[in-house]
Chains A and B, each alone.
Chain A
Amino acid sequence: MTVEVSLPYDKEYVTQFSQGLQEPEWMKNLRLNALEKSESLSLPKPDKTNISKWNFTEFDHHVKSDRIDSLDELPLEIKDFLDEEKDQPNLVIQRNHTVAYATIDQQLKDLGVIFTDIATALRDHSDLVEKYYMNDAVHVDEHRLTALHAALMNGGIFLYIPKDVQIEDPMQAIFWQEDSKASLINHILVVAEENSSVTYVENYISHNKEEKTSANIVTEVIAKDGAKVSFGAVDNFDAGTTVYTNRRGVAYRDAVIEWALGQMNEGDTVSENITHLIGDNSHSNAKTVAIGRGKQKQNFTANITHFGKGSDGYILQHGVMKDKASAIFNGIGKIEHGASKSNAEQESRVLMLSSDARGDANPILLIDEDDVTAGHAASVGRVDPIQLYYLMSRGISRFEAERLIIHGFLAPVVNQLPVEAVKRQLRQVIERKVY
């Protein structure tokens, strides 16, 4: 297949962009190398979804916005993500490609915790970022979109938790694509050193129904020995934004990575969520809920690959499909040779609310080791009439009964999100999308 490269961004642009941000030399070189590779690499080929005509290249790469001095200046739609009752001491708000607001608890800062935008991190903690940036989790040359990401990265977060530091309060990031054509090419890098723990939650939001742009997001979570990372997200890009999102985790010995992803984009979306259980007794729980509506096309892959002995992986994907939307849910549990006593479980379920919608659940177990346990459950179907009957037999209307069942079906992720406001927000998005 030949790949047409019509990127308006060339070597000169990338060099200037990098220099403008005062990035370290290594970053500039990484970008230029990636740009070159993006010309020869092909697009990824998600199973059963043809993305060759999707918009991954037409967007505005650099949209400067004003900072905000106080959270009161935020519009309601962004305020919705923040708990009203209590202050959020650890918060970064990115507005288009500008860090509009950033705060971190002073005590955490004193302990060596870093929670800042990626551009600042590249200036202030260059060595630390270089050590992990597209090294252990996602590689630049996986395909055209990872290369494009690396070349044009224009936002994101660096979160670093030193050894033995346990953070109670959640760290929250809000990525606000305010401009209709701004492209969020965000890189989220979370590094949890030995025996540390952290909860991070992020929100993506835009309101570009018609105007076209594209988001290309790479997330890397590194959990060292005994570390625990809980990662929550609500993605809510509007219909004009075509989304590629790649969230990847690497868990070392006794480490835990938990994903709770509310994938509520309105536009075409390819989402990969891959966790490598490298260390013995490492553990991952990867939960995704998604809704498709209109003519939206989506492809979700959740993959947990076991390398460590006694590693434990659990994948849950629940999707609701209405109108003429289609979505493929690939669940992959892979146990490598040597990962004895490991356990790979997964559950993929799709609820169809319309006969024109399409939903596929593809559970895949790839096992290269004898002494393991594994299991999967998959189903695609309508709302169970017997469940409806049961609820209605208590006087609950058909509409309300369906509503309860759908919210219940999507509850596994809602309930796991750490910030009350984000939970409430996801519930509202579900309500809006389903009805």
Chain B
Amino acid sequence: MAGSTLEIKDLHVEIEGQEILKGVNLTINGGEFHAVMGPNGTGKSTLASAIMGHPKYEVTKGEVLLDGENVLEMEVDERAQAGLFLAMQYPSEISGVTNSDFLRSSINAHREEGDEISLMKFIKDMDAKMDTLDMDKNMAQRYLNEGFSGGEKKRNEILQLMMIEPAIAILDEIDSGLDIDALKVVAQGINEMRNDSFGCLIITHYQRLLNYITPDKVHVMMQGRVVKSGGPELSQRLEAEGYDWIKQELGIEDETVNA
């Protein structure tokens, strides 16, 4: 199976009346890893949040299709059940709900009633994946993200990704706030997901994550649009030379969406 296809077509998004995305086009096929790069304030995280259905973002124009189905008409949980996953930059803290109960509910939400994951299998899977991510086992019994350090939250997002095994994942600045060792661990977890059918959109403004996860395609966002696309060599050039050459090439003075 070749996996799913996520198509983003001419996507326009507003927050509190201000337009942030001004026509984004992007297609991710199963088996492909895409990186979206760009300086701060160019709309990268907005793209991730709008696709998942964050309540503060309003789509004013365009389409997001998952295997031809209009994602924008779905509730947030339906988007997840259809195969989307977003590893969030700032995951919520939820007191009183253990990480493990939450994870099990999430997995079961993707399964039919009567076909829930057995407790034994769940614990075994979770233990193995926590090992991969070098996570302390007691994190399973802690309340969801409550009192987690920045690094622990990121690992916990990747743990969910690995347990849920979505068709298409979006990783929103999963590298921010991670030291180099943690970054390697997280990258390893993501690389373990790589197969013919899994598609991934990695949002970052640093090249360094891409030293450990090689993208098939790299896109640069400025002013709320994808302004340049290329292969892995594009991210290397950005690392070496920064973004100024693109701005010059395209005649952009201020790359942020407010421009």
Chain A interface (Cβ < 8 Å from any Cβ of B): 384-387, 389-398, 400-401, 404-405, 407-412
Contact = CB atoms under 8 A, between A and B. Distances in A.
B147 to A, nearest CB: 14
B82 to A, nearest CB: 9
B110 A387 contact: no
Contact of B77 (A397, A409, A412): A397
Interface string B77-89: 1011100011010
Contacts of B76: 389, 392-393
Contact of A396 (B53, B85, B109): B109
A390 B92 contact: yes
Interface in B95-112: 95-97, 101-102, 105-106, 109-110
B96 A411 contact: yes
A39 B109 CA distance: 61
Interface of B: 52-55, 75-77, 79-81, 85-86, 88, 91-92, 94-97, 101-102, 105-106, 109-110, 143-144, 160, 164
Contacts of B101: 404
25 contacts: A384-B92, A385-B55, A386-B55, A386-B92, A387-B94, A391-B92, A392-B76, A392-B77, A393-B53, A393-B76, A393-B85, A394-B80, A394-B160, A396-B109, A397-B77, A400-B109, A404-B94, A404-B102, A405-B94, A405-B97, A407-B96, A408-B95, A408-B97, A410-B96, A411-B95
A98 B86 CA distance: 60
Contact of A408 (B53, B81, B96, B109): B96
Given A395-B110, A408-B97, A387 B92 contact: yes
Given A386-B92, A404-B102, A404-B105, A393 B80 contact: yes
B164 A394 contact: yes
Contacts of A389: 52-55, 76, 92
Contacts of B77: 392-393, 395-398, 401
A434 to B, nearest CB: 14
A391 B106 CA distance: 8
A407 B91 contact: no
Contacts of A393: 52-53, 76-77, 79-80, 85-86, 88
Nearest to A394: B106
